[in-house]
Amino acid sequence: RCHLPIITHPTLACGMAAVWQQVLAVDDFEEDPRAQGTRGHRRSVSRGSYQLQAQMNRAGVYDERPPGSLVPTSVAEASRAMAGDTTLSENYAFAGMHHIFDQHVDSAVPRLQFANDDKHLLACCSLDGTLSIMTLSPPPASVKVILKGHGGPVTDFAWSLSNDVIVSTSLDGTLRIWNTEDGRCIREVRDPESSELLCCTFQPMNNNLTVVGNSKHHLHVVNISTGKKVKGGSSKLTGRVLSLSFDAPGRILWAGDDRGSIFSFLFDMATGKLTKAKRLVVSEGSSICSISARSWISREARDPSLLVNACLNKLLLYRVVDNEGTLQLKRSFPIQHGSQHVHSIFCPLMSFRQGACVVTGSEDTCVYFFDVERNTKAIVNKLQGHGGPVLDVSFNCDESLLASADSTGMVIIWRREQK
């Protein structure tokens, strides 16, 4: 058990190898009772059937077209032919752990994220008051720089589009902007209400603007060139602001609070002003820990959607039904989630096969993959290896690596099986 060559961490390798487990294609196991409880993973026939569409999505290419106009092209047909009849579970089979980072062990790592269009660069923030930027290439994987300066737990962060800066929020009441090359703190912006800052995100079309949510129920648009709040860019929610997500063109912002509400806002690109549009009560009193917006589900289903974790022991998928951000529940998937700030993501690449995949953390220490297009047996894969609730997950841009972080401060990089 201690000889898995893929594990490169010197001290944790044996312990982790003992618990690394993948449950691939759970429906296959269900059909073959003898396979129940089998350790390790099955051989897979993943054939790389994805096309890099993430950038097109970021640029809002698909949002310029009316809904339903996305028809399969000859290119799509060709990729589908290449994909053959491999299932989504086979496509999301993992070969094991690539690396384990433990520089934050003993403090939870609430967020982690790969950089934009760089498959070997990622960052995470920690309740120990620091952030770290890690690189996986050239090997061996290493911590490139630790961002030190916050005077309290770091709750959230975001990469700018060009990866040159990271913005972070902390319970110390400051927003900080960091140079990712040398780790220098370029700017510190104090919350005007001196309240704890809980979440932040960049305006996708104008990285001079960020949105920050605080514990006094407010969100503010901040101009990071000046460090000032944008006039008309503030609003009040019903509770502590825990989660934020823009749609790809940056026109709609959703914000979730700890009283169970998601608000949508219209964002005025010219002025940075916010207009409150809609409110959805997901579940009175439940924390909305994570919101991710996506303007398409798969090549076949251009279906603007929102993925939400709301401490309800399930992952929720909403359909965005109008251009004011109104939400309608589409599906939910069982996970263990009662109180921790568990996050989830859409897989970054557009699927050319049947189905579309989302990934979520869970309090049962596992990472779950669900096919959002499948009505029954939606679970596609499950990764075991963490020693505490999994709080966040991130795929790199070509989906060759998945990173996951947990409440014990462990960060695991998983390598996808690729042919």
Which chain residues interact with ligand NAG by CB under 6 A?
206-209, 223, 225-226, 230, 272
Instruction: Tell me how far, at minimum, the Cβ of 232 lies from ligand NAG, in Å.
Output: 10
Instruction: Tell me how far, at minimum, the Cβ of 250 lies from ligand NAG, in Å.
Output: 11
Nearer to ligand NAG, 107 or 223 (CB): 223
Instruction: Tell me how far, at minimum, the Cβ of 73 lies from ligand NAG, in Å.
Output: 31
Nearer to ligand NAG, 95 or 161 (CB): 161
The Cα–Cα gap between 226 and 255 comes to 24
To which residue do tokens 């990764």 refer?
383
The Cα–Cα gap between 141 and 27 comes to 35
Instruction: Count Cα atoms within 13 angstroms, Cβ side, for 177.
Output: 23
Instruction: Tell me how far, at minimum, the Cβ of 205 lies from ligand NAG, in Å.
Output: 7
Instruction: Tell me how far, at minimum, the Cβ of 187 lies from ligand NAG, in Å.
Output: 12
Instruction: Tell me how far, at minimum, the Cβ of 226 lies from ligand NAG, in Å.
Output: 5
Q: Taking the CB of residue 1, how many other CB atoms lie within 10 A of it?
A: 10
Instruction: Tell me how far, at minimum, the Cβ of 260 lies from ligand NAG, in Å.
Output: 31
Nearer to ligand NAG, 144 or 228 (CB): 228
Q: Give the chain's end-to-end CA distance (angstroms, integer).
A: 25
Nearer to ligand NAG, 51 or 223 (CB): 223
To which residue do tokens 């189905």 refer?
355
Instruction: Tell me how far, at minimum, the Cβ of 206 lies from ligand NAG, in Å.
Output: 4
Instruction: Tell me how far, at minimum, the Cβ of 416 lies from ligand NAG, in Å.
Output: 33
Nearer to ligand NAG, 148 or 231 (CB): 231
> 261-267 and 252-257: which strand pairing?
antiparallel
Nearer to ligand NAG, 71 or 270 (CB): 270
Nearer to ligand NAG, 102 or 117 (CB): 117
Taking alpha carbons only, the member of 310, 304, 386 closest to residue 344 is 310
Instruction: Tell me how far, at minimum, the Cβ of 229 lies from ligand NAG, in Å.
Output: 10
Nearer to ligand NAG, 166 or 308 (CB): 166
Query: How is residue 239 written in tokens?
Result: 């509770």
Nearer to ligand NAG, 55 or 194 (CB): 55
Nearer to ligand NAG, 115 or 127 (CB): 115
Query: How is residue 232 written in tokens?
Result: 């008309």
Q: With contact defined as beta carbons under 8 Å apart, do 279 and 235 qualify?
A: no
